[in-house]
Amino acid sequence: MSKPDQSEVNTLGFASATAELQKNFRQVEEIMANFANSYDHMDLDPFNLMQSSAEWFAALAKDPKRAIDANISFLQKSMELYQQSMSSLLAGSVPEQPVIQEEKGDRRFRHEGWEEQPAFNAIKQSYLLMSKWMRDQVQSVEGLDEHTAEKVEFFTERYLDALSPTNFAATNPAVVEKIIETKGANLVHGLKNMLEDLEAGKGELRIRMTDTTAFELGKNVATTPGKVVFQNRMFQLIQYTPSTDKVLKRPLLVIPPWINKYYIMDLQPKNSLLKWLVDQGHTVFVVSWVNPDTSYADTEFSDYVTEGVMTAVDVVEQATGESDINMIGYCIGGSLLATTLAYMKAKGDQRVRSATFFTTMIDFSDPGELGVFIDEEQLANLEKRMNDSGYLDGTQMAGTFNLMRANDLIWSFYINNYLLGNDPRPFDLLYWNSDSTRMPAKMHTWYLRNLYLENNLSKPGGVSIDGVPIDISKVDIPVCFVSAVEDHIAPWKSTYAGAKLFSGDTRFILGGSGHIAGIINPPAAGKYNYRVTDQLPDNPEAWAVSADVVDGSWWPEWDRWVKQLSDDQVAARHPGERGMRLIEDAPGSYVKRTLNDIAAPAGAEAASNPAPTARTPEPEKPTVGATAADDLTAIKGIGPKLADLLGQAGISSYAQIVELGAAGIRQRLVAIDPRNSRYDTSGWPEQASRLLG
């Protein structure tokens, strides 16, 4: 048999590709049919868009002139584009002056085909004209309340994103070029990628952003050396190994958000904020929150304060012997830190001497685009969904964030993976972004309602923690806010408003880029710039004009600020000193728990029985100083430091706590140090009685 010529090879390749396409399409039909059967059980309008759209249409009908003007303008521009396009097609070149041009920075139309080929140029301009017409119809419509107007505008933009010609194979020159180059093989491989994503999402299309198999926690991400020195049902506490002979006397405790994992601050050594802090001579501790399951359904926001941050402060004090510490809170972790500081102020606890807030909102009066997703109707729908599982699946929260930047975080990957047929590339940041966590139902509902919906955290006494009303304005320690100019999750002007709530010295730093890149910006990268002052006028725009502008990363600026507050040094502290038992190597086991791991990790028990759940399993329980007959840390409100203190007061068993009663315990603590009056002993005897039973 003679060697086949090129035409025969092409024919055989096309036949093979066609057969493969037919096979894959049959799989798609089967999966989509199964998916369609679940429609009856799904809420297809979780954002209540039908009602919002009806209200918008009613308001628009009251102003017919507005619609007529928009239509006339659209028709005129369309005729102009038609004439221009016909001339361009005949001439074989694009016009020098287009009818409409995309905005600067719109990366969807970077391929040269949009500018060099008349047909694609006409398609692009037609889309841009249609988009402008729709925006003109929905923007600034009179008679709509502000929230409904924002919702209609936001989801109109998302609709326009979806309709972009870049999202369709036949109207994207890059895809057409790839089809010709590969003889359609890119579509075959893209279809396989889509099938894999559908199957992984169990009928829901979850587009992979990166090759998740390329990373392993503790191996090539989250590699800064350290040890887990404490754990309870809420978190593990990691203490990092020092890299300097001397360290600052004040240790540093970092509170990350619980809606995603802490290792965004410890991706690779070259961009690890935690490693950089260690290298600057800080004794760094970081909280690694548990990834909760159904058993945490009744866990409250106040538990994150008392069993979370307050317990972590106790452990840091025990591990270092220092009662003065510096703290950092990132995003929602910063909101939690501010809440804890106000709680500590109300209790007379002065152990935190400075606080830093990364991209943190405390005043939620203007939450930016996230406010679109929060109203009474949407909260009711969310509560209904969480009632069944006891938590909010992290992919739903991630989907919300992705929707806010749909072209970059959804459609670009749709085009790359499915239309161009490329496999996702390894990228540590996107690996972290896809490693979602869950939120306990009760805590998440409380958080959305009290902070986003009602803005209670900014109001004196608007929030109570464990029965204690708090007031942010009474917190008078030095604070530093670090925000990002392009942040769409915590808009910098909103974080600025929160910074003005504190009554002590306040520094505000505004870095470049967005919510992640604006914070994870190592000095060696030489990227962006930042503005900084210690004076905060009422108008944030006025602040931005008057602030000093400095090139590069803000990290050294912050390090100078915190060291000016106290630069005393001591010999380097190593994990395991002062009797702390080493549980495991960093990054620990809690952070490795994925959405597929439903069973509670070791050391985390069910939240339905508050008293016993704080207990750490005996093999992993840290030393708390005094030898105790009972584990006093099983009582809510008693951390390892306080258990040690109770041991000094001669209290080592549940029976003693029941016998002494709240007043007797308090009396013994105050006898050791009057400052111990800050501890609320009222609930301890009842919990101890239950534990005895």
Please choose, from the candidates 197, 257, 220, the residue with its C-alpha nearest in 3D space to the C-alpha of residue 401.
257
- pLDDT given at position 493: 96
Which of 131, 166, 183 represents a domain boundary (last residue)? 183
The DSSP 8-state label assigned to residue 103 in this structure reads P
Please choose, from the candidates 127, 121, 137, the residue with its C-alpha nearest in 3D space to the C-alpha of residue 73.
137
Please enumerate in sequence order all residues whose Cβ is within 8 A of that of 79, keeping only pairs 6 or more positions apart, or say none: none
266 and 355 housed in the same domain: yes
Of the listed ranges 25-34, 197-206, 581-590, the one predicted with least confidence: 25-34
Residue 170 has phi, psi (to 5 degrees) of -75, -20
Tell me the average pLDDT across 86-106: 86
Cα 415 to Cα 191, 194, 409, 423, 494: the distances in Å are: 12, 11, 11, 11, 34
Tell me which residue has tokens 């604070």.
479
- pLDDT given at position 77: 87
230 and 171 housed in the same domain: no
Q: Is residue 216 part of a domain?
A: no
Tell me which residue has tokens 């360290």.
247
For 106-139, write each residue's pLDDT tens digit. 999 999 999 999 999 999 999 999 999 888 888 8
DSSP E strands in 268-371: the ranges are 284-289, 325-330, 352-358
For 482-529, write each residue's pLDDT tens digit. 999 999 999 999 999 999 999 999 999 999 999 999 999 999 999 999
How many other C-beta atoms lie within 10 A of the C-beta of residue 535? 10
58 and 171 housed in the same domain: yes
542 and 459 housed in the same domain: yes
Which of 545, 579, 613 represents a domain boundary (last residue)? 579
- pLDDT given at position 47: 56
* pLDDT classification of 5: cutoffs 50, 70, 90: very low
Round the average pLDDT of the chain to a whole number and report it: 85
How many other C-beta atoms lie within 10 A of the C-beta of residue 334? 28
- pLDDT given at position 38: 40
For 571-603, write each residue's pLDDT tens digit. 999 999 998 999 999 999 999 998 777 655 545
Higher pLDDT among residues 182 and 402, named by residue: 182
Cα angle, residue 413 at apex, residues 411 and 414 outer, rounded to 5°: 60
- pLDDT given at position 176: 93
Q: Is residue 24 part of a domain?
A: no
d(CA 256, CA 263) in angstroms, rounded, equals 9
Tell me the average pLDDT across 612-625: 32
Of the listed ranges 150-159, 230-239, 537-546, 593-602, the one predicted with least confidence: 593-602
How many other C-beta atoms lie within 10 A of the C-beta of residue 461? 9
Residue type at 675?
R
573 and 634 housed in the same domain: no
Most confident of 17-31, 155-169, 172-186, 236-250: 236-250
Tell me the average pLDDT across 49-66: 69
640 and 504 housed in the same domain: no
Cα 490 to Cα 55, 103, 459, 494, 669: the distances in Å are: 29, 24, 19, 7, 42
Of the listed ranges 47-61, 94-108, 228-242, 418-432, the one predicted with least confidence: 47-61
Please choose, from the candidates 184, 210, 187, 215, the residue with its C-alpha nearest in 3D space to the C-alpha of residue 197.
210
Q: Is the dihedral of CA 543, 545, 550, 551 positive or negative?
A: positive
Q: Is residue 204 part of a domain?
A: no
Q: Is residue 8 part of a domain?
A: no
The DSSP 8-state label assigned to residue 220 in this structure reads T
568 and 637 housed in the same domain: no
* pLDDT classification of 269: cutoffs 50, 70, 90: very high
3-state class (DSSP) for residue 511: strand
- pLDDT given at position 625: 32
| Residue-range definition of the domain harbouring residue 102 | 45-183
* pLDDT classification of 16: cutoffs 50, 70, 90: low
342 and 460 housed in the same domain: yes
165 and 251 housed in the same domain: no
Does residue 397 carry a pLDDT above 80?
no
The number of residues making up the chain comes to 693
556 and 633 housed in the same domain: no
Please choose, from the candidates 111, 261, 248, 97, the residue with its C-alpha nearest in 3D space to the C-alpha of residue 174.
111
How many other C-beta atoms lie within 10 A of the C-beta of residue 213? 9
Supply the CATH number for residue 243's domain: 3.40.50.1820
274 and 352 housed in the same domain: yes
Supply the CATH number for residue 675's domain: 1.10.150
Tokens of 421: 């047929």
Q: Which of 237, 331, 370, 657 is catalytic?
A: 331
Q: Is residue 494 part of a domain?
A: yes
565 and 453 housed in the same domain: yes
Q: Is residue 599 part of a domain?
A: no
How many other C-beta atoms lie within 10 A of the C-beta of residue 507? 19
* pLDDT classification of 55: cutoffs 50, 70, 90: low
Which burial class, exposed, middle or buried, applies to 4 when counting CB atoms under 10 A from its CB (0-12, 13-18, 19+)? exposed
* pLDDT classification of 87: cutoffs 50, 70, 90: confident
Q: Is residue 405 part of a domain?
A: no
Domain count across the chain: 3
Q: Is residue 601 part of a domain?
A: no
- pLDDT given at position 172: 94
Does residue 620 carry a pLDDT above 90?
no
Q: Are 230 and 640 in contact (CB under 8 A)?
A: yes
Does residue 387 carry a pLDDT above 60?
yes
Tell me the average pLDDT across 296-316: 96
Which of 130, 162, 183 represents a domain boundary (last residue)? 183
Does residue 83 carry a pLDDT above 70?
yes
* pLDDT classification of 361: cutoffs 50, 70, 90: very high
Decide if 480 is catalytic. no
